[in-house]
Amino acid sequence: MFTYTVSVSTGKQEFAETINDIYLTLVGTESCSDRTLLDKSVVDHFARGSVVSVDINVKEILGDIVLVKLEKEKILFNDHWYCRSISVTTPSGDCVQFPCYRWIDFEKEVVLRDDKDRLSQDDNMKEYRRMELESRQLLFRWKEWHPGFPMSIDANSSTELPLDIQFEAAKSVDFSLNYITAIKNLGLNKFLKLSSWKDVADFEKIFVKIKNTVSGCINYCENDYFFGYQFLNGCNPVVIRKCMNLPDKFAVTQEMVQGSLDRGLTLQEELKTGNIYIADYAILAGVQANATDPDTKQYLAAPFCLLYKNSQNEILPIAIQLSRQTTAGVGNTVFLPSDNQYDWMLAKMWVKYADFSVHQLVTHLLRTHLISEVFAIAMYRQLAAVHPVFKLLIPHVRFTIAINTAAREKLICKSGLFDKANGTGGIGIAEVIQKAMKTLTYKSLCFPEAMKARGVDNKEDLPNYYYRDDGMMVWEAVKSFVSDVVKIYYGSDETVQEDEEIQAFVQDVCFSGMKNCPKDCEFPNSLKTREQLVEYLTVVIFTASAQHAAVNFGQFDWFAWIPNSPSTMRKPPPTQKGQVDMKYIMDSLPDRGRSSWHLGAVWALSQYQDEELFLGVYPDKHFTEQSVIEATKTFRKKLGEVINIIKSRNEKLKLPYCYLSPDRIPNSVAI
């Protein structure tokens, strides 16, 4: 008789009170053990999150242990439990690890492979690999939630998701409860009556209790420097681009801006020199404003905002146009810093309203949440658990499908919470995302390419752009780590080409997940070189971690001051100068009720989660290869160097930029 000792490591997740009838089978190269019912006294310890061991006796040596099978019999209630890993100690004393990190329930037999990483072409157990992927493809099905959107998971509610990707009990998401709790915690209940504010100073009442990074800059809606600074380092630092030629529908002239140009050059000369930048919100043109509240008319505009880098390297607004008629005329009034106080103040508020709208739906929702979900679904469908790329990506898709499903269920659905405060609610959500999808490209997700495309990649040309500078450091650190891992498993470009699972992964993203993108979107349908694979995986990880952090966790900092980032406007944009006063501005801005919902939302969305896992922190040991462990250590070291560089710079700044410090970048899109 030979004895194999099986040790089962369970997780901290919540268990059922009773766990019944767990069977275990060891499969070796020579034979397999009998299907063994684990003793009840052993099973009862599973709920304690500990490591429990059991001896399995067999009549003959099994050979090399290559599989562990777990199964549960179906009973009246689902008594699932979470298994981190299983180790098997053979009679000779060898120990073989079998990573799991999955929930075990009664739905199916779970087959665990050992901890060795294998490309699809190098695996001598292809049948089990095929069965695993076929099983996953039944669970992770594509669905078009809305025409023109990226594809999403086929689930109508969070409870329909596969158990392994649902939120843990301690991290369930209820947007309604979170927002209401936020409103209560922020002391906003007294502001919920649907009435206008009296003046800008009236908003200061909110900040009696609310404090954040920038709330001390209480008058920055009137500060042109602070207005311009946000295009570089605010919550939506991806819109500003160098302007070499003025758009046809922009009626700005040399005479209008001459007083704002401090180098003695003409507007055309400044354009050629590269000192003029623009924020163009053309995507909002023709979008229907939120009409879900019959008692409150809401409006949208598609502004141009011309920005000037002056001789002190400050980015300042010098011209704003709120409409875009076919030809210059009354509707194309250009507002200027030299206009009266209220005209210029309101024009800037309209730009910030447009910027907030584009941020929420395009920069944040589409380009981080929805795209990361596409990568996640394709990964589950096409990469086996023993594939090194699956192990590389799994920390970076944690809870992404779950948070997006919750958002579709409660937040951005018809009559969802997004409609309560936002001018792009209602059908505007779909209209904006559908338009954004028509111009979305793969290269725009490559951080260096995105900077270059907007003409903002040169540090000397555009200094103090901390989003760009920190983003480049994080991008290079991620790319270096990915490159190290790819080189371990792929000895040549041919190895990439021969990897059927990797090719299926990128094809599933291109032809299924992003099928609503135009043909020239450049999403690869195959990868031919290691360099292409490195770039692709860097895009996946960077989008889910750094890019999401940069545009998400500053929402409360930058959007809490309502006049700076209105979530809606209740009066139409002015078409002429000299016709607005403070009362018109206050009647335009969100009322007290919408302001409260807006504040509750941006506060809740800006919170880190309990036990958040930050970039490079991988507690689940998917990789056990020493070479990958060393590569991970090198990655963390580089991230530490980036943290120190950012910290040293921020100590000299009045307003630090922290959103891309790696110790504040969660691994995945999970909020």
> From start to end of 420-505, where are the E strands?
none
Q: Are 493 and 281 in contact (CB under 8 A)?
A: no
| Exposed/middle/buried for residue 36 (C-beta within 10 Å: 0-12, 13-18, 19+) | middle
Q: Are 251 and 337 in contact (CB under 8 A)?
A: no
What would the two tokens of residue 596 be? Answer: 């409260």
- CA 142/CA 30 separation, integer angstroms: 40
> From start to end of 125-246, where are the E strands?
142-143, 152-153, 241-242
Say which DSSP state 32 is in: B
Which amino acid would we find at residue 196?
A: S
| Conformational region of residue 290, where left means phi above 0, alpha means psi within -120 to 50, and beta covers everything else | beta
Nearest to 62 by CA among 1, 112, 123: 1
What would the two tokens of residue 602 be? Answer: 């941006």
Nearest to 562 by CA among 589, 528, 535: 589
Q: How far apart are the first and last CA of the chain?
A: 53
Which residue is associated with the tokens 């400050």? 314
Q: Is 369 annotated in some ligand binding site?
A: yes
Q: Is 396 annotated in some ligand binding site?
A: no
* 3-state helix/strand/coil string of 588-615: HCCCHHHHHHHHHHHHHHCCCCCCCCEC
What would the two tokens of residue 113 be? Answer: 């492979």
- CA 546/CA 13 separation, integer angstroms: 27
Q: Are 467 and 475 in contact (CB under 8 A)?
A: no
Q: Is 548 annotated in some ligand binding site?
A: yes
Known binding-site positions? 39, 79, 364, 369, 548, 671
Known binding-site positions for Ca(2+)? 39, 79
Known binding-site positions for Fe cation? 364, 369, 548, 671
